[in-house]
Every structure is written in C-alpha cells, then in structure tokens.
Chains A and B, each alone.
Chain A
Amino acid sequence: MEALQSIAYGFSIFLTPVNLLYCFFGVILGTLVGVLPGLGPGATVAMLLPIVFHAPPIPSFIMLSGVCYGAQYGGSTTSILLNIPGETASVVTCLDGYQMALQGRAGAALGMAAFGSFIGGTVGIIGLMFFAPPLAQYALSFGPPEYASLAVMSLTMVTYLTKGSLVRGMMMACMGIIISTVGMDPITSRSRFTFGFQALLDGFDIVFVAMGLFGMSEVLINLDQSLKPEILKTKIKNLFPTKQDWRDSAKPIARGTLIGFFTGIIPGLGVSVSTFLSYALERKLSKHPEKFGNGAIEGVAGPETANNAGSSGTFIPLLSLGIPTNPSTAILLGALMILGLQPGPLLIKSNPDLFWAAIASMYIGNVMLVVLNLPLIGLWVQIIRIPYAILAPLIVIFCEIGAYSVQNDVTGLLVMNLFGVVGYLMKRFDFAGAPLILGLVLGPMLENSLRRSLMMSDGSPLIFFSRPLSAVFLLIAIVILISPLFSGQRIREKAIEMQEED
C-alpha cells in the first residue's frame, strides 16, 4: 500500500511537460544507440553527462535512465534485420530473429521483441518499486566494514565476469582505485598525486574519465574498422504477433522476466548473461529444440524480455545501495554524485522525489518505447544506413563541446581526450574498461570505509570477519577469486562465453 502511495507521488512529480520531454528524449536516444552498432548505452550516458550540469536533477536522471533501458529496445532491430547486434544484450536475438526475417516474418519478430521488452521492462520496474526501498532500509544498518566488504565483493564480481583474463581485469580494478585516490584525501585533506596541478585537487572527474574511456575510445577504435552493415531487403509487415505466436511466447516471456530481473541485480552478470540463460533454458524446455536457430519465436521472445527485465534489475543495487553493476550504472552513479546526491541507502529516504519520479518515468518510458518503436522501425533502418565516416566526427565534436561546456575550461576537455587515448590503448591491448570505471567509482567508498573500519577496530582487520554480513560479502569475494583454482576457470569461461563486455 505504501508503495502504491509512493508511486502515485512519483507520478505527480513526473507528469510535467519538461519531465515527459526529457523522458522522451532519453528513450529515443537510447533506442538510437541501441540500433547503431558500435555505440553502446555506456558511451551515450557518458557523452550526455555534461547535460547534468545544466539541467535540473530529476529530468536529468530520468533522461539518463531512459538511455539505459531504451537501448535494450533498439538492439533487437539490428539483430533481426541485419544479423548485427546493436548491443551485446541482443546477440542471442540474431540467432532466431534473423532467421525469422529471412523467412519473411521480420514483422512478427520485431513485434514480439517489442512486446516482450515492454512486459519484461514493466514487470522489472514493479520489482524495483517493491524491492529497492526495503533493501535500502535494511542497508541503513550497514557500517563501514559492511560497505568496505560490499565494495570488494562488487569489484570482484565485475572483474571476474569481465571478458578477458582475470589478471587483466583485476589490474584494471586496481588502476581504477589508484586513479580514485588522486586529489584531496577525504580524511586528512592532504593532496595526493596532484604534482602541483590545481585542477587535480578535486581528483579525476568521473564525467571526463567516462566520456573518454567509453565515448571517445569507442569512436577511435571504430575508425580503424569499417562498419558497413548490409541491410536485409524485406518487407516489414504484421508487427502484431498472431495468437499462435503469443501462445508460443507466453511462457518464455514469463521465464525471461524472472531470469532477467534476478541476473540484473547481481554485479557483473548484467543483462547480456540473462539473454543467454533465457535462450538456453527455452531451448532445453522446448518440445521442438531443433527449431531453435531456424526461426523459433521463443528464441526472440525470451531473451528480449530478459534483457529489459535485467535492465530494470540493475537499478536496484544502484538506487538502494549505491552499488553499480555495470559501466552504464557506474556512470549513472557518477551522475547522481554530480547532482549533489549521496548514492546509497539514504538516497531513497532523503530524495524520494527523485527515486519515485524515476520509477514513474520508467513506466511511461516503456509505454513510449513500445508505442513509438514499432511505427518508427522504418526510420531506425534508415538511420543504420548513415555511414560511420559521417557519424564519427559528429560524435567526437559532440563529446568535445559537452566536455568543454561543463566548466567552460579546457582542463576537462584535455582529461577526456587523454582518457580517450587511454581507453583506445586499453581496447587495443585487451584491457576491459568496466573494472576500471567501477574501481574509480567505488574507490572512494572503499577507501573511506576501509580506513574508518580499521580506526573503529583499533587496527584489527578481523572486524571485517566478525560482523556477519561483512563476512558473507568477503566470503563471496574470496570464493569467486579462488574458484578458478578448483574449476580450472570453467565457470568463469562459461559465463564469459555468454557475454561480451557490457
């Protein structure tokens, strides 16, 4: 009942022309980046971060969240029509979606993907609405040891499930933590690693680092590769699935929702893994597994539902604990900090307007997506035709203007461009960006809580094991780290097989 009152409050805040416009802009932009291969939601949220400095907090957050969940809708279009996943979370949709398109059923595939996404996304938001506030309430009892252990566990999980070698992932997490220590020491106010540069006293701003690592580097790496998609020439008709399609897809949609939602909550797993889990499960449960890979609608409905439910799930640890589970939510966390909000269990209590308005916006955003996406599929197909040679310079210019406009100063611009180069080199040398950005975001929380815990316990590290919840978090982290020794990396490799870096 309390949740219903709160969501009514959320709608009363959200339903203003300005908020609706920001929501619309966010979901449309999200769909656009979902459609465009080579540009992900993380990069887009990073590039849009400067807007946070110029717009009010609630509309800004509504828009950035819209990009995150909107991208899951757009990804399926390219998977079905081009056999190229716009997003990693849509890789699986290629398997049956493209086959359906070849058989002249592109409309049914696109329609079912959209309706499945809508159902998954909406049920996910209901879960977010009911799970996040009690979790945040519970987390109020967390002390510094719990936070330190939670940060360690989140970093370990993300690193473990990042594509590439575990050693490299851990190195990047350490790099993120080291970079996070640049600037003023929060306890002693002593400057660290600033080398006399005044601009570094506040540390590396997440805005510029994220824009460089995810936005600029993606453009730079794509400059070396040719992205010329071949578009399937097929007539898109009958976007509304038939009764038989609904009968075949009902259970996969229900199962996809549950799988997506719960995998979205777990750090590191993200939405990509949920799509593979859903596909594997549907194939296993199907009476006609031989149809999978040859145009089975269940193979589109399940994973497409899962990725949207997962996208809603990722907001639970973000908004209730202040723990991001993937790069996009890490950058969203940065946005919250820029807005002067303190991400963590107190966020919902101290900023109920932002939390409930964001939830309300997600309901409306999902409706906008399903209503707008189906009629606009023709437009999205045209957009895919824009050559990357034209798109890339425009993205770079947009990043440069965005970075400069934050402080009307070239320092941020320089930091962004330098991190763009760093991100490019990381991609060339197979180092993942996700652990670094998470290390950078979680670093201050880890450092503060680690140092405070040690002060509390008079220097005894046993404090992390003597408190039950902290001990559980650390135990999970330790099990994850030593598991390759016993399983020969099998679990990890299997999980990574199921996802590309988010």
Chain B
Amino acid sequence: MRELASAFFFLGFSVFVLWGSLLLGLGTLQKPGSGFMSFCAGLILFFLSLALFREGRGIRESRKALPARRALIAMASVIVYSLVLETLGFIVSTFFLVAILFHLGEPRRWWVLLGISALVTLLVYLIFGVLLQVYFPRGILAS
C-alpha cells in the first residue's frame, strides 16, 4: 500500500512538473530552454514512478504501522509556530512550542511543564536575544 501510495503521488507530481516545464518552454537541443532540465528530470521521475507502481503491486504488507501521533502533533506545532511567530512574538510563541514539545516527550504535571517552558524560553531569549543579539519579533508584547 505504501509503495502504491508513493507511486501515485510521484506520478501526479511528475505529470505536474512535465506540464510546468512545457509551459516554461523546452527550447531546442541547440538552445535548451528554461524548462529543459526539469522536463528531463520529470520524465525520468514519471517512468521511475511507474516502476515503483510495478514493484508495489506484488507487495503484501503485514508490517504494523509505527505510531506517529507525537510526530504529527510536533509537525503541526512547528508549522503553526512559523505562521504565528511574527504576530504573537518570539517569547509567547516559543513558550507554547516548548510546552507542547516537552509534553510530547514526556507528560508532566501542568505546573512543571509551564515552569520548564518559561525557564527554557527565558534562557534561550537571554542567550540568543540578549547575549548574541539575534533579532526576535516582539509581536503582541511590543509596546
């Protein structure tokens, strides 16, 4: 199933790349255009995806899927962090990110978690923001 899912994804992706490359223009062999390289790579990817599809058809998976809950929450958290960093500011968004990540690593009492998160955020801010002069967005704490 994983092979087939991967094959379908890359088949779709390669068709998209081929289409985009055609729009960019392939040029000629004497003067290759902007889409030449991506077209070549996309074409190879297309055929390799077909080969993967062929490989995947014969595979019967009995393997139990690995748990992914913690990684999924962490992934969502870091993406949200990138989106809200400038709005909420470094201190507030980092505090929440640290709290989530520490909780994912090992569930703790809520006050321990908040204490650790506050401490880590403060230390990180002091080391990077104050000592190393890295610019951090202030967000909602800006006055």
Contacts and interface: CB of A to CB of B under 8 A. Distances in A.
26 contacts: A171-B10, A174-B44, A178-B42, A181-B37, A221-B71, A223-B104, A224-B66, A224-B68, A224-B70, A390-B105, A393-B98, A393-B102, A397-B98, A397-B101, A400-B94, A404-B134, A404-B136, A413-B81, A413-B85, A417-B82, A424-B75, A428-B68, A429-B6, A451-B36, A455-B30, A455-B32
A192 B35 contact: yes
From A404, A418, A451, residue with most partner B Cβ within 10 Å: A404
A178 B41 contact: yes
A495 interface: no
Given A178-B45, A192-B20, A192-B35, 11 more contacts: A170-B44, A174-B42, A220-B75, A221-B71, A392-B101, A396-B97, A410-B82, A410-B83, A413-B85, A421-B75, A454-B31
B71 A224 contact: yes
B45 A174 contact: yes
A454 B42 CA distance: 19
A41 to B, nearest CB: 23
A447 interface: yes
Interface string A379-415: 0000000011110111011001100110010100110
Interface in B83-141: 83, 85-86, 94, 97-98, 101-102, 104-106, 120, 124, 128, 134-136
Contacts of B86: 410
Contact residues of B: prevailing secondary structure = helix
Interface of B: 2, 5-6, 10, 17, 20, 24, 28-38, 41-42, 44-45, 48-49, 51-52, 55, 66-68, 70-71, 74-75, 78-79, 81-83, 85-86, 94, 97-98, 101-102, 104-106, 120, 124, 128, 134-136
Interface in A140-199: 165, 167-168, 170-171, 174-175, 177-178, 181, 185, 187-188, 190, 192-193
Given A393-B105, A429-B2, A192 B38 contact: yes
Nearest to B30: A459
A42 to B, nearest CB: 19
A413 B105 contact: no
A418 B67 CA distance: 20
B101 A174 contact: no
Among A216, A397, A405, A430: residue with most chain B CB under 10 A: A397
A177 B24 CA distance: 16
B109 to A, nearest CB: 15
Interface of A: 165, 167-168, 170-171, 174-175, 177-178, 181, 185, 187-188, 190, 192-193, 216, 219-221, 223-225, 387-390, 392-394, 396-397, 400-401, 404-405, 408, 410, 413-414, 417-418, 420-421, 424, 428-431, 443, 446-447, 450-451, 454-455, 458-461
B79 A459 contact: no
Interface residue SS majority, chain A: helix
A459 B29 contact: yes
B55 to A, nearest CB: 7
Nearest to B101: A393
Contacts of A177: 37-38, 41
Nearest to B86: A410
Contacts of B29: 454, 459-461
Contact of A223 (B36, B44, B81, B105): B105
CB-CB nearest 8 A-B residue pairs: A389-B105, A459-B29, A393-B101, A459-B30, A389-B106, A447-B37, A414-B82, A177-B41
B10 A178 contact: no
A82 B101 CA distance: 27
Nearest to B33: A188
A397 B32 contact: no
Contacts of B105: 223, 387-390, 392-393
Contact of A424 (B67, B71, B101, B106): B71
B124 A397 contact: yes
Nearest to B129: A401
A192 B85 CA distance: 29
Nearest to A165: B55
A446 B37 contact: yes
B128 to A, nearest CB: 5
A106 to B, nearest CB: 30
Contacts of A404: 85, 134, 136
A175 B45 contact: yes
Contacts of B31: 454-455, 459
Contact of B52 (A167, A181, A390, A451): A167
A188 B82 CA distance: 33
A405 B135 contact: yes
B134 A420 contact: no
Nearest to A413: B82
Contacts of A447: 36-37
Contact of A410 (B10, B85, B106): B85
B135 A408 contact: yes
Given A170-B48, A190-B34, A394 B85 contact: no
Nearest to A177: B41
A401 B128 contact: yes
A401 B134 contact: yes
Most buried by A among B5, B33, B55, B71: B71
Nearest to A175: B45
- Name, among A223, A451, A454, the residue most crowded by chain B CB atoms within 10 Å (CB to CB): A223
A224 B104 CA distance: 10
Contacts of A390: 102, 105
Contacts of A397: 94, 97-98, 101, 120, 124
Contacts of A396: 74, 78, 97, 101
Contacts of B44: 170, 174
A396 B121 CA distance: 13
B76 to A, nearest CB: 9
